């Protein structure tokens, strides 16, 4: 097989890249280790920045998003028993949209299949070769047969646990990694969301977040241990803890829990995001803690730059944007890392025995909700910093 861009991973990064390149007339092959049903059902992110929505709309991928997405103009911070609204739209003129990542993935898989161009699910033993040459290749097994794809460029969009990043020699990269001493226990419940907008709660027992997927599906998170044992969390205990941490006058409606999971939290960046003809995008290159809702948004930001860079390369042989790909992405990624870290440290309990931490967090939250300058800082980061490309 021969293609221009070999794309490893059919998450938001890989699927969006395949779609944008197709619109430019650039050929690609998408390889995914999981089944189509698995990636379309995997519950993950839910919140899109205004720029991410605009990107999907410009790409012709937003018909269902425009119909079903829930547009939010603000969010609430809950601490010391009181809810405070941050008026995102009033402070920035921009909004955010709730639309499940798996819904965006379904839309993009359907768009890919409609093009008739190749997407292989359930591939195994994916490996990249000759990445510093101008004819890199990918080998993989599909339905028992070993294949090789010769490419001009490889896009490593295979997430944090993929094979692309480890294919770069350790001596060629610098890694930044911070692991947090907590995780999130997340549930999806068939019940009315607590409020029309999101509630980020700082409570002495730990952080909680009330978000949603629709008017009848609530998505709720609790700070827990990074390796929390789910068997210790029967439904009653989850609801009891949510009632305590989200107690704010609004009613928390209980419902059947459809899905439960624990996510550990880390901040991670690899620099540079390119080695020879291998380009990393999305979670393959960076991880943020979910408190700022930035993971999927960052993946979309990277792909915008990579699409433009590959467009210039295949149209005119111009490598200048390819050469700046990593620097352009990292400039925004580090600002988003900072924001995600800041939201995380302001809202989580790191050390239950540290009263100083508690008072500092309350002072910071009080400052954020009462200072227009501080509220605007939160809002402009939350709705999404501008793109350079």
Residues forming the site for ligand RFL (CB under 6 A): 8-14, 31-34, 39, 44-47, 101, 123, 126, 157-159, 162-163, 184, 186, 263, 282-283, 290, 293-297, 299
C-beta of 129 vs 358, nearer to ligand RFL: 129
- Any catalytic annotation for residue 72? yes
From the CB of 81, what's the least distance to ligand RFL, in Å?
26
Buried b / exposed e along 162-178 (16+ C-beta atoms within 10 A): bbbbebbeeeebeeeee
| 219, interface contact from ligand RFL, ligand PHB, none, CB < 5-8 Å by kind | ligand PHB
User: Which residue in the block uniquely carries the two structure tokens 């944090």?
Assistant: 160
| 34, interface contact from ligand RFL, ligand PHB, none, CB < 5-8 Å by kind | ligand RFL
Q: Which of 291, 337, 361, 381 binds ligand PHB (CB under 6 A)?
A: 291
- Three-state DSSP class for residue 358: helix
Within 7-66, which residues bind ligand PHB (CB under 6 A)?
Answer: 45-47
Segment (H or E) for 262: strand 257-271
d(CA 31, CA 14): 9
Per CB under 6 A, 288 contacts ligand PHB = no
Shortest CA distance to 64 belongs to which of 73, 72, 74, 56?
56
What are the start-end ranges of the H helices in the chain?
Answer: 12-23, 36-41, 50-58, 63-68, 88-92, 101-115, 235-245, 295-316, 320-347, 355-370, 372-382
C-beta of 206 vs 290, nearer to ligand PHB: 290
C-beta of 229 vs 367, nearer to ligand RFL: 229
**Two tokens, residue 229:** 């044992």
- Any catalytic annotation for residue 193? no
Q: Which of 293, 303, 305, 322 binds ligand PHB (CB under 6 A)?
A: 293
| 69, interface contact from ligand RFL, ligand PHB, none, CB < 5-8 Å by kind | none
From the CB of 369, what's the least distance to ligand RFL, in Å?
22
Q: Which of 19, 203, 294, 348 is catalytic?
A: 294
Burial class (CB in 10 A: 0-12, 13-18, 19+), 73: middle
Contacts with ligand PHB by CB under 6 A: the residue count is: 9
Q: Which of 19, 22, 72, 203 is catalytic?
A: 72
C-beta of 117 vs 358, nearer to ligand RFL: 117
C-alpha distances in Å from residue 68, one per residue of 71, 150, 213: 9, 40, 10
- Any catalytic annotation for residue 226? no
Per CB under 6 A, 211 contacts ligand PHB = yes
- Three-state DSSP class for residue 375: helix
φ, ψ for residue 357 (rounded to 5)?
A: -55, -45
User: Which residue in the block uniquely carries the two structure tokens 């890199």?
Assistant: 136
- Any catalytic annotation for residue 243? no
Q: Residues 354-383 vs ligand PHB: string with x where CB under 6 A?
A: ------------------------------
- Any catalytic annotation for residue 180? no
Residue by residue, DSSP assigns 4-66 as SEEEE--SHHHHHHHHHHHHTT--EEEE-SS-HHHHHH-----EE-HHHHHHHHHTT--HHHH
Find out whether 43 and 261 touch, Cβ atoms under 8 Å. yes
d(CA 323, CA 10): 25
C-beta of 126 vs 191, nearer to ligand RFL: 126
Per CB under 6 A, 189 contacts ligand PHB = no
Catalytic residue set:
72, 200, 290, 294, 382
Interaction site with ligand PHB (CB under 6 A): 45-47, 198, 211, 219, 290-291, 293
């Amino acid at each position: 097989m021969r293609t221009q861009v070999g794309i490893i991973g059919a998450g938001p990064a890989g699927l969006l890249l395949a779609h944008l390149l197709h619109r430019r007339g650039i050929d690609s092959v998408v390889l995914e280790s999981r089944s189509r049903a698995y990636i379309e059902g995997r519950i993950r992110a839910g919140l899109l920045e205004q720029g991410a929505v605009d990107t999907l709309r410009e790409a012709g991928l937003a018909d269902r998003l425009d119909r079903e997405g829930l547009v939010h103009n603000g969010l609430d911070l809950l601490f010391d028993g009181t809810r405070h609204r941050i008026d995102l739209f009033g402070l920035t003129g921009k909004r955010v949209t709730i639309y499940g990542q798996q819904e965006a993935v379904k839309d993009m898989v359907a768009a890919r299949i409609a093009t008739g161009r190749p997407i292989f699910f359930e591939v195994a033993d994916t490996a990249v070769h000759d990445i510093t040459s101008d004819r890199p290749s990918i080998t993989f097994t599909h339905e028992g047969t070993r294949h090789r794809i010769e490419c001009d460029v490889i896009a490593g969009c295979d997430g944090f646990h993929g094979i692309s990043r480890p294919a770069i020699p350790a001596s060629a990269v610098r890694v930044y990694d911070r692991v947090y001493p907590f995780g999130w226990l997340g549930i999806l419940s068939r019940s009315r969301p607590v409020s029309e907008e999101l509630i980020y709660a700082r409570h002495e027992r730990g952080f909680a977040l009330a978000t949603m997927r629709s008017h009848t599906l609530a998505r709720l998170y609790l700070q827990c241990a990074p390796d929390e044992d789910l068997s210790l969390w029967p439904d009653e205990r989850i609801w009891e803890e949510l009632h305590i941490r989200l107690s704010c006058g609004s009613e928390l409606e209980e419902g059947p829990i459809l899905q439960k999971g624990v996510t550990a939290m880390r901040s991670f960046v690899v620099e540079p995001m390119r080695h020879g003809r291998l380009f990393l995008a999305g979670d393959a290159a960076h991880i943020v803690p979910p408190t700022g809702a930035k993971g999927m948004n960052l993946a979309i930001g990277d792909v915008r730059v990579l699409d433009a860079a590959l467009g210039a390369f295949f149209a005119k042989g111009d490598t200048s944007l390819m050469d700046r790909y990593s620097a352009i992405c990292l400039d925004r990624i580090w600002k988003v890392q900072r924001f995600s870290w800041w939201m995380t440290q302001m809202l989580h309990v790191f050390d239950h025995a540290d009263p100083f931490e508690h008072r500092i967090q309350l002072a910071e939250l009080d400052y954020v909700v009462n200072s227009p300058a501080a509220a605007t800082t939160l809002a402009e980061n939350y709705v999404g910093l501008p793109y350079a490309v």
